[in-house]
Amino acid sequence: MTLPDLPRIMVAPNGARRGKADHPALPVTIPEIVACAAACFAAGAGGIHAHVRDAAGQHVLDAGLYAELQAELARVVPAMAVQITTESVGRYDPAAQRALVRALRPAMVSVALREITQEPDTRLTRAFFHDCAEAGVAVQHILYAPQEVDHLAALLAAGTIPAGRVQILHVLGAYASGDSATPADLAPRLARQRAAGLSADWAVCAFGPAETACLLAACRAGGKARIGFENSLWMQDGRRAPSNAARVAELAGLLAAGEQGSPVSGGRS
């Protein structure tokens, strides 16, 4: 079964931790997320990495809320790819993550390798990945550190993850620790990816003010970009971004300028 490729630009408009106190334009409710998705699609994002929130604004892995969001996105922006998250945020175990995917059978899902492999019974992890492949669910493997590339390669070699082209997200920097990413953070990850011989459809997200510079570096290296308020609230020049759509429009414009041969600045690093 042919799985969908990652879009060149995917917006991550809210994430699991930030709220209105961090930025008033951060979408929390389903209507806000859908309106944001439509604006970002118009600005150049081919997909959305979606988190839903409960009535208190807290991150939840709720199949009902995700089904509602997916239906609304399909109605308002039918051409936009939708990827749901299984991020645990310390609240959910691998069983809950697997249950969400089993209930929804989404076209695309992101799964942190370090989280899903905490399952003591490796047979369950293997069954999860193989079930996703058979159901046509495109799994993007979230890798938070260079050594996790080796872990992914080992799981592929062991057959825990089905052989073939995989989707990867390299996460640069970190929200919880306040570690801001730089473009230099990408090199060791790509070196390990090449050394492991991974056939990958890969992308990058980057925490902090140098998000734009990191994403441009990734795209120049043959990767793709996840951009938005989940990771950064800043424009390339350091100004506070007015909206997720503004972040998408800026990146899309810089990529287009680079393809046309115009000088493209990497911004802050």
Reported as a single tens digit per residue, the pLDDT across 67-94 is 999 999 999 999 999 999 999 999 999 9
As given in the structure block, the two tokens for residue 148 are 């996790």
| Structure confidence at residue 262 as a pLDDT band (50, 70, 90) | low
Neighbours of 55 (CB within 10 A): 7
pLDDT tens digits, 117-130: 999 999 999 999 99
Residue 178, pLDDT score: 65
Residue 266, pLDDT score: 44
Q: Which residue has the tokens 């990058």?
A: 204
If you average pLDDT over residues 13-31, what whole number do you get?
97
Neighbours of 38 (CB within 10 A): 16
Q: Please give the model's pTM, rounded to 2 decimal places.
A: 0.94
Residue 51, pLDDT score: 98
CB 67 within 8 A of CB 39: no
DSSP state letter for 92: -
As given in the structure block, the two tokens for residue 234 are 């800043």
CB 215 within 8 A of CB 253: no
The structural domains of the chain, with segments of one domain joined by +, span 9-258
Asked if pLDDT for residue 261 goes beyond 90, the answer is: no
Residue 174, pLDDT score: 81
CA distance linking residue 12 with residue 229, whole number of Å: 6
Question: What are the respective helix, strand and coil percentages of the chain, to the nearest 5?
Answer: 40, 20, 40
If you average pLDDT over residues 236-247, what whole number do you get?
97
Of 3.40.50.300, 3.40.640.10, 3.20.20.70, 3.30.70.890, the CATH number of 9-258 is 3.20.20.70
Higher pLDDT, 261 or 6: 6
CA distance linking residue 230 with residue 239, whole number of Å: 17
DSSP state letter for 239: P
DSSP state letter for 196: T
Asked if pLDDT for residue 64 goes beyond 80, the answer is: yes
Instruction: Kindly tell me the sign of the dihedral angle through the C-alpha atoms of 156, 159, 164, 169.
Output: negative
Q: How big is the chain, counted in residues? A: 269
Q: Element (H or E) spanning 167, and its range?
A: strand 166-172
CB 87 within 8 A of CB 110: yes
CA distance linking residue 154 with residue 68, whole number of Å: 37
Distance of CA 112 to CAs 59, 116, 140, Å? Answer: 16, 6, 8
Residue 259, pLDDT score: 75
Asked if pLDDT for residue 263 goes beyond 60, the answer is: no
Neighbours of 2 (CB within 10 A): 6
